[in-house]
Structure 1
Amino acid sequence: MIKLFLPLFMLLMITGCKKSELEASNSTAVHLEKLDEPKEAYQVAPPKAISEKLLPDENQSPITPKKMDTISKKIIKNGNMKIQVGDIKKAQNQVADILKKNNAYIQTEQFQNTDVDDNLDLVIRVPHKNFDALINSFSEGVGSVLSKNISSDDVTEEYTNVSIKLANKKIYLEKYRDMLRSASTTKDMIEIQETIRELEDEIDVAEGRLRFIDDRVNYSTLNLSLYKEKVRSSATSKIGFGSRFADSVTEGWNSFVSFLLGIISFWPFLLIIPVIIYLWRKWRTRKTK
């Protein structure tokens, strides 16, 4: 009988030990899993308002924009030239030929004719690579250069900064659009939509600025003034000596008439003169007696 129960007792002891070891291992695993859980999950409460959701999380890595290609140099060239010419029409034809050779065009044109001179003011846009050749052509073959001012402005830094900010704004815009799809309350949707609208306006402004800079970089601007001085400054100097002499006589007569009319305009004072003479004579006679 003892031999029968002894193996059964040993089997029960082995099974109990294995069960205790299994429970101990499971308890240790559960404890380790609790230790591995981040403490922040129990310390940070979910945001109660959309404004809190929009704030960047300090525990998250900062948003990094997509890698941008290296921006080449952005140089804006501008110029001002004033050229004295002998004939405006001939100079205008020469300018048209020079513009055609350099792929340039006239943006604005203004002509002014006075008694002293003729002025033709042009605002010319020319590809950046042809700007220097255009300046040299005007300096050599159109007329006498009275003044010339050329300037270059490096806007590479501004262009780079605007491009980086634009890329960041586009990333934020996509994130806010994702938040809008998952918004649960009307208040959250309104606040997210307002933020999206502001970001879209800022993106439009930044893109407009980049387009403006690209336009000024790709096409330089030249303010060209063609100037012709007239030999005679009055209408009478264009006719003969006899006509000019007659005009002078006429002007003298007109001046004399104007003088007489000016004296006549004082007629009330002329009436006082005889009275003054009569009183003076009467006083003289009394003094003699």
Structure 2
Amino acid sequence: MKKSSVVFRAAAVGAALCLTLALAGCGADSYASSTAYMTAGAADYGTSAEMAPEEAGQGVQLDTDSTLDPRQAQEGRKIIYTASLSMESTDFEGTRAALLAAVEDCGGYLESTSQGGSAEYGTRYVSYTARIPAERYREFLGLADEAGNVLYLNENAQDITSSYVDVEARLTALKEQRDRLNALADKAETTADLLEIESQLSEVQYQIESYTSQMRLMDNQVGYSTVDIQLEEVRTLTPTTVTFGERFADAVNRGWRNTVEFVQNVILALASLWPLLVILVLFVVAMILTRPLRRARRARAPKPEGTLKKDLEDPGKTGKQ
């Protein structure tokens, strides 16, 4: 009986391990998201949409007159504007289309996008990194506010004027040095002098290209503000004030949906593991059916020499056994 119990326990452990691995795979597939890089406009998603009436005025109201406005920056200042925006919507497709239309209307483009979730369960989500011309940065945030329910907004303005001026000065000095070296190269009298000057020219040219690349990057960051957008599909919008009863009802609904999804994942996992389960059942049945044969084989097996000697010395005890 003990050995049979051990066999059943081993089989149960094996089945549990297989089920755990399958559930882990299903969970990974459920939450996988695809990432792609797009050009301006993202026309595949459409350019206009009607918003649901309940989308407006539920969450954070964006301040379109905020002091973080590139249009109000001082002349000659180099400022990088960035924003992070978290939104929700009951009309996921409509809000997404409106956001993409706002990017296109403002002359911006999508630097990256990722999406995932399930339309069946209403759990879709999408993340965008939008580059918007700085002069229309505030306008874009206003359009985003109209597209859906804004839950969170974080803005940042980074002044890189000193760094920009420093790189610009270094670039000017290097170009002047390059001009002087070119003049010296024209006057070089020996090959050795010419080779030395050309070596210095090569190093100076490399530094010029490096600083030029830095300036181009800073110009792009200043000219185009970066806005990170997180959009999530919900069944009901988050109200500005939430009572305990509303939170309790939402928790019950969410728990029910999670339970249904878990049971479905278990069923799918068992369906995908049916060959292993069949093999496991056949193994257990084989172990049970061959148990008498194994017991008989052990009975016919010769006893160790020490045991035979002990039985001969104490035949009475052997007879009792």
TM range (shorter): 0.5 to 0.7
Which of 152, 158, 162 is the equivalent residue of 2:157?
A: 152
Please provide the CA RMSD for this pair. 3.9
**Deviation of the 1:84 alpha carbon:** 2.2
Aligned to 1:209: 214
2 CA distance for matches of 1:193 and 1:123?
Answer: 44
Change (3 A) 1:134 1:194: same
> Larger C-alpha radius of gyration, 1 or 2?
1
Distance, in Å, in 2 between the alignment partners of 1:257 and 1:184 is 90
1:182 matched to which residue of 2? 187
Task: Give the Å deviation of 1:71.
Answer: 7.9
- CA distance change for structure 1 residues 225 and 185 in 2, over 3 Å: closer, same or farther? same
Residue identity matched to 1:271: L
Q: Give 1:99's match in structure 2, choosing from 98, 103, 126.
A: 103
Deviation at 1:229, TM superposition (A): 5.3
- Normalising by structure 1, report the TM-score: 0.57
Match of 1:77 in 2: 81
For the 8 Å contact 2:117–2:124, the answer to whether it is kept is yes
CA-CA distance at 1:196 after TM superposition: 0.9
Q: Cα offset for 1:275?
A: 7.2
C-alpha spacing 1:261/1:157, structure 2 compared with 1 (3 Å): same
Q: Displacement of 1:112 after TM fit?
A: 2.6
Q: How far 1:193 sits from its partner (Å)?
A: 0.8
Quote the Cα distance in structure 2 between the aligned partners of 1:198 and 1:215: 26
Structure 1 residues without counterparts, runs of 5 or longer: 1-69, 239-246, 279-283
Counterpart position of 2:147: 141
Cα distance in 1 for residues equivalent to 2:230 and 2:131: 14
Question: Does the 8 Å CA contact 1:76/1:154 hold for their aligned counterparts?
Answer: yes
Contact 2:107 2:132 (C-alpha < 8 Å) held by counterparts: yes
In structure 2, give the amino acid aligned to 1:189. Answer: L
Match of 2:197 in 1: 192
Report the Cα offset of residue 204 of structure 1: 1.2
Q: Deviations over 1:36-95 (max 9, x none)?
A: xxxxxxxxxxxxxxxxxxxxxxxxxxxxxxxxxx98111111222232222332112211
Task: Select which of 160, 169, 174 maps to 1:164.
Answer: 169
Structure 2 Cα separation of the partners of residues 276 and 183 of structure 1: 102
Q: Match of 1:177, SS? A: helix
The one-letter code matched in structure 1 to 2:131 is: R
Residue 126 of structure 1, aligned match among 120, 125, 132: 132
Partner Cα distance (2:209, 2:277) in 1: 72
Distance in 2 separating the partners of 1:98 and 1:173? 46
Change in CA separation of 1:95 and 1:181 when aligned onto 2, cut-off 3 Å:
same
Kindly provide the amino acid, as one letter, of the partner of residue 154 in structure 2.
N
The whole-number CA distance in structure 1 between the counterparts of 2:190 and 2:203 is 20
How many pairs are equivalent? Answer: 204
> Match of 1:271?
293
Identify unmatched segments of 5+ residues in structure 2: 1-73, 236-253, 301-316
Identity of aligned residues (%): 18
